[in-house]
Structures are given as structure tokens and as C-alpha cells.
Structure 1
Amino acid sequence: MRSTGTVVTRLGDLVDGQEAVCYAVLAKKVRGTTKTGKPFLRCVFRDKKTSLEAPLWHGDPLLEVAEAWDEGIAYRVEVRSELKLNFGMQLVILNIRPAADGDELEGYDVDELFESSAWPADELLQSIHQRVDKYIADPHLKELVVRVLVENDDLLRKMPAASAMHHAYTRGLLEHMWSMSRVAAMLLDHYGDCYYKDLNPPLDKGVVMAAVVLHDIGKLKELAYSPVEARYTKEGQLLGHIIMGRDMARDAARNIDGFPEETLLCLEHAILAHHGKREFGAPVLPATLEAILVSFIDDLDAKMNTAVRYRMDHKNGEEFTDKVWALDNRRLYRGIPVEPGAPAPDLDA
């Protein structure tokens, strides 16, 4: 395919004061007014790795034109990048139009615009099912987890774990569940088999693994899937994924004859308490060993995903990342890169 000669720049590669051609998706338009009552528009453009804001202030000739721009659409944008104190890199739009047939000659690649998990859905699901089989001994509980996974297979293969923050990309929810199940397996082997052998009743490994897999299942109803950015449903706004997830688990249990009440109670509690603290949105605080373990695993996996993604993002070109809101506004040291080439981990390891 012959190039047109135009150099296309990724959003994350822009430097202060640069004029460039970029391809990006309009992820969001937010209308507002200044303190003096003047209208403005915050446009957020994103590609696979980076989101940047393009504010349109009163008097900008594009402010009225932007009303016709559609969220979720890929655009060819000519921009000037400006590094703003306290706001980071922002875009000044010089020219814009929807991406069109033939733009591939210039370097447009739709696969560069939408981020997704690096792990295939089939492999993630197979790995999760193997741990469900290994760590959930109670047949009723195992049936519940498998039923929920099978009944929601289509959405699980694409739903992000959040609209922002951790695992906020296509298939991110499934990746989060898989990662947590791996961590849970290691901790269950340690705390459940090796360490506290005299604990009676013993740590319920089945409840922990079931809650790890189902703790965020309510996000399938809390969010409406989009490859650009998942948005909250009406029910998600009014109820939230924690309550909705507990209800999904409870409804599944009602359709399984003889489901043990104590097991269901402990599973519901672990789902309800998985945010760990009331200020983080937990309706109840963890009051069982199983719920404590699930909440710590969830917090660890979410924070690690956020931290790793910030460290991998080189848009500020410095030794330290931008401030990470989820980590108390700390800036993370990026370290000295090593040569690539390490093999990918075995999902079942």
C-alpha cells in the first residue's frame, strides 16, 4: 500500500508545541459554562493507549461545528499540542473530519484506536474454569459459578472492568477476573493448606474462588458496552454493580435445588464487601476471612493494573509518571528499561 507522505502521529507521542496529524476516536463531549456564563465544550479524543482533552472555549469557531461531531466515531484531526500546568497535554484542533475510506494510505489503522486485553477470551475463560473446578468442592456452588459464566458468556468476552481506572478496555473485566483467580489460587494454597492448618472451620476456598470470579459480575448490568468507553446504565447509576452482582448470584442460587444457605450467605457477603471500605462504596465491611481475602485481592489487582499502565505510558517523557489519582497522587518511577523478548506467561500456571 502506497503512503501519501503525511506522517501520522499517535496521541501519546505528541510533544509540547507540535503540530501533527492524528487519528483518534471522539470518546466524550462534555458541555459546560464558565464562571461568566460563557459556553464551552470539553472534547476527549483517544486512541488505543492515550486520551487527551481538546477544550473548545467561547469564541472558538469550532465550538458550534462540534455539536455535529459524534461520540464513538474515528476522526482525522490536525492538532497543535500544548502542555498545560496542572492539566497535562491538551489539544488545539486546527482541522477535523471523520476518518474515511482511503485514509489507510496515510497510516490510519482502526486497530490502533480501540484498546483490548492482550489475552484471548477463550484462554482466559478456560483458565478461570480450571480454577473453579480445582478450588470449589461444593457442587452447588460450582454449578452456580458455571451457570453465571455460561449465561453471560457473550458480554464477558468484551466488557471492560470499568469506564475508567483499572482494566478499562475491551475484555478487561474477564482479564481482571482471571488475574484475581491466579492470585487467589496462590493465597489459598498458602493460607488454606499450609499456614493455618488448625483453623476450624477452615478457610472456605470455594467461597473465596467463587467470590473472586463473581465479585464484579454486576458490571455486566451496570455498564453498557462500547469499544470506546463504557457508559453507566440507568440501573447502574441507581443501584451499582455491587448490589446488582449480589442479586445475580442470589437469583442463580434460587434455581439450584438444595443450595446451602450458609454458603450463599458467605458468598453474598464477600461480594457485598469486596470494596473493603465504606468510603470505597462497600455496603458492608468484610467480616469473614473469605471476604477479607477477596477484598485485598481485588484492591491489589486493581491498583497494580493502574500503576503498571501509568508506568508504561511515556507521554510526559520523564523519569516519573504523571500523578496517579488512584494511588494518592503519587508519581511512579519508571526505572531503566531492559531488552524485550521475555516469553508470555502460561495462563494456567
Structure 2
Amino acid sequence: MKEKNLFIQDIQDGMKVHDLFIVVESRLDQARNGPYWQMTLQDSSGTIPARIWSPLSRNFEQIASEQIIEVTAAAQSFRDQLQLNIETLNFVPPEQTDLSFFLPVSSIPPEELYQDLMRLLHQKVIFPPWTRFYKKILKNNDIREALVKTPGGKTIHHAYMGGLLEHTLSVCRICDSICDLYPALDKDILLVSAALHDIGKAREISAGVSREYSTEGKLMGHIFLGLEMINPFLSKAQNLSPELIMHFKHIILSHHGELEYGSPKRPKTQEALLLHFADNLDAKMNTIDNALDNPSDNHDRAGHWSQFQRSMGRFLYNPHRTPKPEQPEPEPKPSHSLQKVRKTIARQPTLAADPDFSSSDTDANS
């Protein structure tokens, strides 16, 4: 088995690199001195542009995406961007190495995210028909395997293996927390909808390196595909009234919020509106985290700006934040005279004992 020793995030200008990468995209272009390959390489820590110049470039008729390659290259900064100038290249069969070296993955193992999601639903969803319904779907072997592998998006948010589960779990947690503020909400239908709202992405987006949209994903989108996956389970669900099923479908269909954002319907219930905002909030927070956590841009320090984020139409700023003390400071001991005053007060009858005293009196005088 071929091991990987150097990751893209650790490559620096001037380094000599000999390691494994996977090809995300490649294109044969023409320069003054002959043809050259323009490529993007990837490992689990990120991506880097690479070039194969003539005459070496003439040795390769095709370099397909998702091929694993072993290269010797020189790292060089060009127009403030680090790139690899490849000197040797060999193709490596996938079975000779570990694919996890090359695929970005959630910081929490996807299988652990799945278990956390199931645990949350088990604890929070009370109505037995909803419990049976979500378990039938999420415990289906094909669906479970797809959820563990599928990214949450192609490029904008949660675009890594396990990203869909990470996003789904976060949306469920947001919905659960907000339900504590608004107890009249139907928490059961909201949490089941949150757990299944993006399930169609398992068919919309490839789980491979390129994270390309499938043909059915391009033609129909994950909202329609998700309902198509869910409908066979809904048709067999027991003791779910037509009204509950209709509301559930509306929540799923409207979770993108607006027609121009791909929602067939706009949210028209409290639960539908809440899921839309929870979904949008978690996606935005992840986008900002990724934008400000780009090692090549040195955005790990406060006071730095991100590159322009096209999906949000703005640059993003990493502010200085209030320091968090390691441990709370101990309260100063009261002086001897203050202790005497406290003892005196303790012996006095309290205002609450006075039948004529009410909290409104204090409010009026405050």
C-alpha cells in the first residue's frame, strides 16, 4: 500500500514534493513552447493547481479526473498562488492506496454523525407513527450508506464527505433549541422534516472527488428527488393522517424559502418557516467558517479578511473576540464590616413577607 506523507496544507514555496494526489480536473492547453497540462490536484486537506510543461506534457494523451497520481514536483508561487510544476508523474491504481487520503471529510467521523442524529431523534420525537416513519427511512441500508458518503453541497457549504450528515444534524439541533422558545410548535414533524429535508442530495450530488451533479440532479433538483425517495415510505406509513402528511410535504418542498432559490413553494406555516431559517443559518455559518479557515490565505488570525465570497456577495472579516477566561475569577471575600451588615439584614423581616408588597412596587420605583 502506498502511503501519503505530505498534505497540500503543509506545502510551502520552494519545497520539493514527492507524493500522492488525486486529479480533480485537467485540461490540455497550448503555450509558446508547446502543449501543457493545466490541472487541479486534491487531497483531504485541500486543492492546489499544477502544471505539466512541454516536453513532459507530450507523454500523456489523457489525464482523467478522479485518477490517483504519484508526482515529483517543485512548489512555486505564481501570481501570489502556490502551484506545483510537475517533473515526473505515474498513475496509481486506487486499490494500492487509501482513498481517505484524498477526500475532504467532516472533522467528526460520518458514522458518528449518523449515530448522533439517530440518538437525537430517538430522544426528541415522541409520536410513534413519526418514529416508525423516520426509522424506516434512515435505517434503510442504501439510504444510510449514501448519507454517510454524500457531501452537503458541491462547493458552497459542507462540501466534503459526511457534510450532508453534519449539516442535517446541525439543522435538527437548531430546530430543537428554538422549539424550547416556542413550545406551541409541532416539534415532532419539525425534527423529522429537518432530518429528511436534504435527503435528495444523495441522488443529486456525486459522492466522488469531483462532487458533480448527476443528470437527474441537474434536471429535477434535490427537493423533488428527496420527496421521490420519501414517498414510498409515506405510502406505507401507518396512523399518519392526511393532514400531517400534507404538512410534512409542504415543509420539505418550501425549505429553500423563496421561488428564486429553488423552492417550489414559499413557507406558509411556522414549522416550514423555521426549517428554512435553520437550514439557511447553518449553511451560512459553515460557509463563513470555511472562508476564514483557509490556511493558504493566513486567515487563522483575527483581523484578517477572506477572499471575496461569491455565494454571499461580500468579503468576510475575522474579528477580534472577547477573551474567554480559563476559569472564573474567585469573588473577593467581603470585608468584616460588610459581613456585619449582611448579618443585620438577615435578621430583618423581608419585604416579601409584607402582604402589601408586590413586584409591581419595585418596578414602579426602579
Q: TM (normalized to structure 1)?
A: 0.76
Counterpart check, 1:129 vs 2:114: no
Query: Which of 62, 73, 93 pairs up with 2:86?
Result: 93
Counterpart check, 1:25 vs 2:22: yes
Report the residue type matching 1:166 in the other structure.
Answer: H
Query: Which of 272, 282, 291 pairs up with 1:291?
Result: 272
More displaced stretch, 20-29 vs 175-184: 20-29
CA distance 1:281–1:92, change in 2 (3 Å): farther
Offset from partner CA, 1:118-146 (integer Å, 9 cap, x none):
32344323322233234333332222211
Counterpart check, 1:50 vs 2:46: yes
Question: How far, CA to CA, are the matches of 1:169 and 1:92 in structure 2?
Answer: 27
Q: Paired residue for 1:218?
A: 200
* Cα drift, residue 91 of structure 1: 4.0
Query: Which of 226, 229, 236 pairs up with 1:245?
Result: 226
Question: How far, CA to CA, are the matches of 2:98 and 2:121 in structure 1?
Answer: 39
More displaced stretch, 301-310 vs 68-77: 68-77
Q: How does 1:60-75 map to 2 (within 5 A)?
A: 60-61=54-55, 63-75=57-69
Counterpart check, 1:207 vs 2:189: yes
More displaced stretch, 312-321 vs 39-48: 39-48
8 Å contact 1:14–1:81 — kept in the other structure?
no
Q: How does 1:273-312 map to 2 (within 5 A)?
A: 273-312=254-293
Report the residue type matching 2:77 in the other structure.
Answer: E
Report the residue type matching 2:113 in the other structure.
Answer: L
* Cα drift, residue 150 of structure 1: 0.9
Question: How far, CA to CA, are the matches of 2:99 and 2:205 in structure 1?
Answer: 23
CA distance 1:126–1:41, change in 2 (3 Å): same
Question: How far, CA to CA, are the matches of 2:60 and 2:5 in structure 1?
Answer: 23
SS state at 2:172 partner = helix
Counterpart check, 1:162 vs 2:153: yes
Offset from partner CA, 1:215-242 (integer Å, 9 cap, x none):
110111112322x233322211211111
Question: How far, CA to CA, are the matches of 1:261 and 1:113 in structure 2?
Answer: 46
SS state at 1:82 partner = strand
CA distance 1:247–1:31, change in 2 (3 Å): farther
CA distance 1:269–1:183, change in 2 (3 Å): same
SS state at 1:68 partner = coil
More displaced stretch, 273-282 vs 327-336: 327-336
Offset from partner CA, 1:181-215 (integer Å, 9 cap, x none):
11211111112x2xxxxxxxx32112211111001
Question: How far, CA to CA, are the matches of 2:200 and 2:220 in structure 1?
Answer: 10
Question: How far, CA to CA, are the matches of 2:137 and 2:292 in structure 1?
Answer: 35
8 Å contact 1:26–1:46 — kept in the other structure?
yes
Query: Which of 320, 341, 348 pairs up with 2:305?
Result: 320
* Cα drift, residue 290 of structure 1: 0.8
Query: Which of 68, 74, 82 pairs up with 2:77?
Result: 82
Q: Paired residue for 1:171?
A: 162
Question: How far, CA to CA, are the matches of 2:272 and 2:93 in structure 1?
Answer: 51
8 Å contact 1:276–1:292 — kept in the other structure?
yes
CA distance 1:224–1:114, change in 2 (3 Å): closer
Offset from partner CA, 1:158-191 (integer Å, 9 cap, x none):
2222222211211221111112111211111112
* Cα drift, residue 63 of structure 1: 5.0
Report the residue type matching 1:320 in the other structure.
Answer: W
* Cα drift, residue 294 of structure 1: 0.6
Q: Paired residue for 1:265?
A: 246
Structure 2: state its 5+ residue gaps.
327-366
Structure 1: state its 5+ residue gaps.
194-201, 342-349
Offset from partner CA, 1:244-264 (integer Å, 9 cap, x none):
112222221101234311111
CA distance 1:12–1:254, change in 2 (3 Å): same
What is the aligned-residue identity percentage?
26
Offset from partner CA, 1:104-130 (integer Å, 9 cap, x none):
xxxx98654322223234432332223
Counterpart check, 1:10 vs 2:21: no
CA distance 1:188–1:175, change in 2 (3 Å): same
Report the residue type matching 2:185 in the other structure.
Answer: L
Query: Which of 154, 176, 180 pairs up with 1:185?
Result: 176
Q: Paired residue for 2:316?
A: 331
Count of residue pairs the alignment pairs up: 312
Report the residue type matching 1:205 in the other structure.
Answer: K
Report the residue type matching 1:74 in the other structure.
Answer: I
